[in-house]
Structure formats: C-alpha cells, structure tokens
C-alpha cells in the first residue's frame, strides 16, 4: 500500500481492461457477480430474499430487502474490499459465506477492508473480520475518527486515510476521493485506468443521495464539482466511466439503457440539481419516506437529492445575494451588478470579493485553496484584475500565486510570505488613505490593525459598503496583533469613517450570507475594548486559536492573549 495526494500531473498512459461476461452465483445469503476480470460485486440477497421491493396488485409492499453492496478487487499483490453490507440476521451462515467469497478470490493475498462511510448498512458484517489478524482496515478519519468508533477497530491493523490515498494492489490502483455530504467523511474509490468508481451512498444509487442537514448539503454542493475535477485530473474517460453505488437494486428508478451503469453525465445532472436547490428552483415532490428529516425528493434527470423541504428553503435564502456559479474551489454570489462574493470550503466559508469598474476590477483576498480562482473571475469580468489582500493569513492568501502581483499593507508582507513560501509574484504596498481607481468606481483603503499588524479595510463609499477581512471578525474577532488599545483606536477611526460616509455594512472575511458587520457591531467592539482596558470587564479563560482568553457580549466574541493585549 502507498498513499499520495491528487496533485502531480498524470503522465502515464492508462490501459483499460476489457469487461468480461457478467456471471452470478449465490453463496449463502450473498449473490456474487463479475464486473470485470478480478473485480466482483457482492450483494446481500438471494432467491429466498430478493433485492429491493415487491408490491401486490393493490400497490401494497409485500417484501423489502434494502440490500447493500460490497466490492472486491484483487490485484497481483493484494486485495481490497469496499464496504461490508448490512448486518445479516436472516441467514445463519452469513459470516462464513462472506469470508469464503473473499478468501476464495483473494487466494491468499493480503486483504484490506475500506469503507465508503460509517453507516451500519455498509459496516454491518464487520464482526466477521474485526478479530481476524489477516485483515487490515482503511478508515476515513472524518467518519471513523470519532468517539463513537473508539475501540471498534484494532489499532495495529487499522489506518486512517484521506483524499488521495492510493491502494496499490499490483496491476490495480485504487484512489480515494473525498465526497462529503451524506456523511462528513464519505469517500469514493476510483480504479485508475479502468473507469470504475465505487461511491457507496455518496452520490446515490438511483433513489437519491440522503442529506441530513444544511451543513451536509453545503459540503455536498462543493463535493460534486470536486469529484468531477478529480476524475478529470485522473484521466477518467467520460464516456466509459461506470459508477457503482451502495444499493445497486435502486437502479429500478433510473432511466438508463439496459446494462448501462450511472456515468459522468449523471454527476453533471447532480451538479445542476445542487445549483437548482441552492437557487430554490429545483423540481421537488414529497418523499413519503416517513423520515423526520428526509421529506422531499429534489430531481433533475436521474439525479435525486433526498432532503428536507424547510431546510432546503432556508438554505436557498441563506444568501440575500444571487447565486452565480460554482466550481470545486469556490461558489460565487452576486452582491450587485458589478460586485460579487465568492466563498471557499476550507476555512469557515473564507470569502473573496470581486469589484468591477469601467476599466479594471479589484479582487479582495484569495482564500485557502481555490485552484481555478483566476479562471472563475475571468468568467465574471472581462476587465484586468488586481489582487489586494485585507491581511496576510493563509486563509486569505492561498490562491495569490494565480495572479502576477499582490497588493497589501507593508506590516503584513512578512506574514503573507510565511504563508506563501516561494511566492514569485510582485508584492506592492497599500497605505492608509490610498484610493484604488477602477474607472468610475473608487475604493479607499483604511488601515485597521488588531487582527494582524497590517490589516486593512476597503471602502466603496458610493455604494455605502466596505470589505473588512477579519479586522472586525466575522462575529468572532481574533486579536492576534496589538493590544486592546490598538483595537479601540481602529474602532474609533472606523466608526468616524462609516458615519461620515454613510457606510451601512462591512462584508467580512468569512461571510455566511447573514453576518455582515455593521456600524453598531464596530461600536460594540469599541465598548468591549474600553471596558477591558478600564478593568470593568474581565475576560474568561479559554484556549482557542492560540489565544488564552475571551470576552463575549452583544453577539460578538473577542479572543486575545493576556497579558499582552492589556498593555
């Protein structure tokens, strides 16, 4: 086994293996079929307990086996099992049968069991293998590195894996790709050169992908374009890609030619469906599942998301700004005709802002990892773009290398370079009072230190708003640089500027649609700073982000280090 991340270019020519005839054989409660040479599909059903649903003439359900899928891949050196089906309680010989299926085909090779996610209908037969020293386990850290699973797997035979982990089976390479949404740590497994993708429940199997809350959907809308991007990077053949989910019997809902599996076009349909859910325009109908959350089917072609209507409506209204576009690294909404906000997925919705003038455009901040930020911005504006930073932290400078130069305050240049080691672009300086002329639109710079020594805020006076990065937090101000006296000075100057110029809101560095900073918020932070300095308010102990104390009131938290911040 080895692991690497999906970063280096793939130069190796990939030779596809021709599929052989599909054969099926029953072994105890399991039915085994051949996908291609050395790749098998194992389902927990047999003739006595068929897969799926059976209905009588009146439409009443008379039988139901929500059978779950196991996949076995055997290379020249090792074997890989993906998922372990439902726990089988309707047959006495389930454990013996499954072990014999795997052992016969693995033929003495070392076997690793990996999981697409942590739900019981995919880990059900774990007791048949967990105590056997001949089996190892590969586990998503997000799904299995929790107290719930502590002690459930043998430490000496288990390994936490993440995106990019590669199982080198000898002649078969299987690469893990993160697809969170159904669970926080859902993984898909791509067989390089064979155009096979095993997804568990990450993208559904025909009856839809189940999403349980807003955070899950927010993960999912980013995961689908990421999956598409990863498949493109790995050289997947879009016409030949075959997707095998976690409940194969659910194909009965799919409009597919006989013998055809889900493919790349299905993922495109799913991406468009996510976009429509976000904008509140998706086709929907009641699910009638009787589940307290999963009350609605959202549909687009074969793609189905099963979620909650009220949660989906709330999500579609989360941003007052209009949804514009999304890719794997960033989603953009439109603030007004010539202004956009983009949010990343790596650090609390890290935000970038694009301001367009008649001659030029200004991009404020660059997120953590938005690998196509320059291309997405070019889709939104045809003007030349200048990148400027509110400050030098890593969650605001990550994609700066995509641009030929970057502008920021001198006091944060060292911080920026520490977070962008080897940066080759030009570094240019902004100062308090500078005006950036975009052509018919001016943006003024105000020096607002406190979060960092070189934090600055950009103001568009004509439109009555500003862009403050983390200078005033995003409901949670981290006072890394400077004492409360410096914060008080920053707040005082900013309040005066906002009042004089009619500034109504500040768009922060981690914008969630409902948390713009306001004049009142800045006044509240000034009040907190003065009360701490006067001794009227004492901070509470609490380690977070390298800071040891905090004060909280007025809906805002300020974290700081004592005694440094009190000088």
Q: What is the pLDDT of residue 428?
A: 98
Do 341 and 193 lie in one domain? The reply is no
Task: Provide the H-helix boundaries in 6-46.
Answer: none
In percent, the amount of the chain with pLDDT more than 90 equals 83
Check pLDDT > 50 for residue 322.
Answer: yes
- Residue 378 and residue 304 in one domain: no
Which run of H or of E encompasses 3? strand 2-3
Residue 155 has pLDDT above 60, yes or no: yes
Angle, CA 185 vertex, CA 238 and CA 157 arms, to 5°? 105
Mean pLDDT confidence for 535-563: 92
Of 114, 107, 39, give the one whose Cα is nearest residue 77: 107
End-of-domain residue from the set 284, 316, 348: 316
Reduced to 3 states (helix: H, G, I; strand: E, B; else coil), residue 464 is coil
Is 308 part of a structural domain of the chain? Answer: yes
Please give the pLDDT value at position 263. Answer: 97
pLDDT score recorded for residue 211: 98
**pLDDT surpasses 50 at 18:** no
Q: Average pLDDT over the chain, rounded to whole?
A: 93
Q: Indicate whether 466 belongs to any domain.
A: yes
**What mean pLDDT do residues 304-315 have?**
96
Answer yes or no: is 430 within a domain.
yes
Mean pLDDT over residues 469-483, rounded? 90
Neighbours of 77 (CB within 10 A): 13
Whether 1 is covered by a domain: the verdict is no
Output the pLDDT for position 32. 98
Measured CA distances, 329 to 346, 409, 526 (Å): 9, 26, 35
Q: Is the pTM of this model over 0.85?
A: no
For residue 497, which of 529, 465, 472, 470 has the smallest C-alpha distance? Answer: 465
Averaged over 141-159, what is the pLDDT? 94
Lowest mean pLDDT, pick from 189-193, 231-235, 480-484: 480-484
**Domains identified in the chain, total number:** 2
Flag whether pLDDT at 10 surpasses 80.
no
Q: Residue 475 sits in which domain range?
A: 322-566
Q: How many angstroms separate the CA atoms of 521 and 515, rounded?
A: 10
- What percent of the chain is predicted at pLDDT more than 70? 96
**60: confidence class by pLDDT, cuts 50, 70, 90:** confident
Which segments of 429-560 does DSSP mark as H helices, in order?
A: 484-501, 519-534
Whether residue 71 lies inside any domain: the answer is yes
Could you tell me which of 310, 221, 316 has the C-alpha nearest to residue 270?
A: 221
The band of 23, judged by pLDDT with boundaries at 50, 70 and 90, is confident
Q: Provide the greatest CA pair distance for the chain.
A: 81
For residue 384, pLDDT over 70 is answered with yes
The predicted structure's pLDDT at residue 4? 38
CA–CA distance, 534 with 264 (Å, rounded to integer): 63
Judge if 171 and 243 occupy the same domain. Answer: yes
Q: Is the per-residue pLDDT at 20 higher than 80?
A: no
Q: Which of 396, 381, 391, 497 is nearest to 439 (CA)?
A: 381
Residue 552 lies in a domain: yes
Q: What is the pLDDT of residues 260-300, one digit of tens each?
A: 999 999 999 999 999 999 989 999 999 999 999 999 999 99
Judgement on whether residues 363 and 291 belong to the same structural domain of the protein: no
CATH number assigned to the domain comprising residue 296 = 3.60.15.10
pLDDT of residue 328: 81
Question: For position 9, what pLDDT does the model report?
Answer: 28
Q: How far is Cα 124 from Cα 512, in angstroms, rounded to an integer?
A: 38
The answer on 84 and 226 residing in a single domain is yes
- 555 shares a domain with 492: yes
Same domain flag for 395 and 308: no
Which of 316, 342, 365 is the endpoint of a domain? 316
- Co-location of 532 and 423 in the same domain: yes
Clarify whether residues 129 and 46 are in a common domain: yes
Domain membership flag for residue 9: no
Helices (H), 389-478: 394-397, 413-419
Shared domain for 34 and 144, answered yes or no, is yes
- What pLDDT is stored for residue 22 in this prediction? 56
**pLDDT at residue number 57:** 86
**In this structure, are residues 123 and 44 in contact, taking their beta carbons and an 8 Å threshold?**
no
In sequence order, which residues have a C-beta less than 8 Å from that of residue 291 and are 6 or more positions away?
none
In-domain check, residue 2? no
Same domain, 398 and 414: yes
- Domain end marker among 252, 281, 316: 316
Give the pLDDT score at 41: 98
Per-residue pLDDT at 19 exceeds 80:
no
Of 536, 544, 541, 545, the C-alpha closest to 562 is 541
Which of 170-179, 252-261, 444-453 has the lowest average pLDDT?
252-261
Residues 358 and 234 in one domain: no
């Amino acid at each position: 086994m080895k692991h690497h991340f999906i970063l280096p270019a793939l130069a190796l020519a990939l030779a596809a293996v021709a599929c052989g005839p599909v054969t099926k054989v029953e072994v105890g409660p399991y039915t085994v079929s051949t996908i291609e040479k050395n790749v098998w599909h194992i389902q927990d059903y047999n003739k006595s307990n068929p897969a799926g649903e059976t209905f009588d003439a009146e439409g009443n359900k008379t039988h139901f086996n929500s059978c779950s899928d196991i996949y076995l891949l055997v290379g020249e050196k090792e074997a890989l099992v993906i998922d372990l089906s439902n726990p089988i309680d309707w047959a006495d010989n389930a454990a013996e049968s499954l072990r014999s299926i795997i052992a016969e085909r693995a033929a003495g090779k070392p076997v690793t069991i990996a999981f697409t996610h942590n739900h019981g209908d995919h880990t059900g037969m774990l007791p048949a293998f967990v105590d056997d020293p001949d089996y190892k386990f590969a586990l998503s850290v997000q799904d299995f590195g929790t107290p719930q699973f502590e002690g459930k797997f043998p430490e000496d035979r288990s390994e936490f894996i993440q995106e990019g982990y590669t199982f080198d089976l000898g002649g078969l390479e299987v690469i893990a790709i993160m697809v969170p949404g159904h669970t926080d740590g859902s993984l898909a497994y791509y067989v390089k050169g064979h155009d096979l993708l095993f997804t568990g429940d990450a993208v559904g199997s025909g009856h839809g992908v189940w999403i349980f809350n807003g955070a899950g959907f927010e993960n999912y809308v980013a995961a689908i374009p990421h999956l598409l991007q990863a498949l493109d990077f790995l050289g997947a053949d879009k016409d030949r890609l075959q997707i095998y989910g976690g409940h194969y019997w659910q194909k009965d809902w799919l409009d597919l030619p006989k013998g055809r599996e889900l493919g790349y076009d299905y993922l495109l349909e799913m991406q468009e469906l996510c976009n429509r859910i976000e904008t509140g325009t998706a086709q929907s109908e009641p699910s009638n599942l009787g589940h307290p959350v999963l009350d609605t089917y959202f549909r687009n072609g074969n793609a189905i998301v099963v979620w909650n209507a009220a949660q989906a409506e709330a999500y579609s209204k989360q941003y007052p700004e209009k949804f514009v576009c999304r890719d794997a690294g960033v989603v953009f909404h439109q603030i007004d005709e010539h202004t956009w906000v983009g949010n990343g997925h790596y650090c609390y919705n890290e935000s970038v802002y694009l301001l367009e003038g008649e001659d030029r455009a200004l991009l404020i901040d660059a997120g953590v990892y938005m690998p196509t930020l320059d291309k997405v911005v070019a889709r939104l504006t045809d003007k030349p773009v200048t990148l400027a930073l509110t400050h030098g932290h890593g969650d605001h400078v990550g994609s700066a290398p995509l641009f030929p130069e970057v502008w920021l305050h001198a006091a944060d240049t060292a911080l920026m370079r520490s977070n962008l080691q080897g940066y080759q672009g030009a570094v240019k300086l902004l100062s308090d009072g500078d005006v950036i002329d975009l052509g018919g639109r001016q943006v003024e710079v105000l020096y607002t230190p406190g979060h960092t020594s070189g934090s600055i805020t950009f103001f568009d006076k004509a439109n009555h708003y500003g862009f403050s990065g983390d200078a005033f937090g995003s409901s949670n101000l981290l006072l890394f640089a400077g004492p409360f006296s410096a914060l008080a000075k920053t707040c005082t100057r900013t309040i005066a500027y906002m009042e004089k110029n009619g500034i109504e809101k500040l768009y922060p560095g981690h914008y969630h649609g409902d948390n713009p900073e306001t004049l009142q918020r800045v006044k509240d932070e000034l009040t907190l700073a003065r009360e701490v300095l006067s001794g009227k308010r004492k901070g509470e102990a609490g380690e977070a982000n390298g800071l040891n104390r905090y004060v909280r009131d007025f809906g805002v938290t300020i974290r700081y280090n004592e005694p440094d911040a009190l000088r």
